[in-house]
Amino acid sequence: MNTSEAMAVVLFESVHDSLRAEDILERAKLTYRAIVKPRELGSDCGVAIRLKIEDIPFFMDLVSDRAIQVKGIYHKVDGEWRQMQPPVGG
């Protein structure tokens, strides 16, 4: 697994939810980066958050407490995007 494959990309139902997630990540002192959504994951100019795969369970706990709608979590396996987490929240 190369470095990029150790990272996950989280998509959100809304820009606002991604900002709420960032706020939570900041408070939890998790390392993350807001990125432009990879083209293969949608063509709608959305913003996504990239963070370490190992932080995903903790991140999901944090966002589900706040009813943030996650559209999906993806990671790359052999150069292909795979969904590792179905949509949650609401």
Binding site for other proteins (CB under 8 A): 13-17, 19-20, 22-23, 34, 36, 42-47
> What's the rounded Cα separation, in Å, for the pair 79 and 51?
17
Residue 86 exposed, middle or buried by CB count within 10 Å (0-12, 13-18, 19+): exposed
Query: Furthest-apart CA pair in the chain: how many Å?
Result: 33
CB of 6 to other proteins, least distance (A): 23
CB of 14 to other proteins, least distance (A): 4
CB of 68 to other proteins, least distance (A): 10
> Which is nearer to other proteins, 70 or 78 (by Cβ)?
70
> Which is nearer to other proteins, 2 or 45 (by Cβ)?
45
H-state helical runs in the chain: 15-28, 56-65
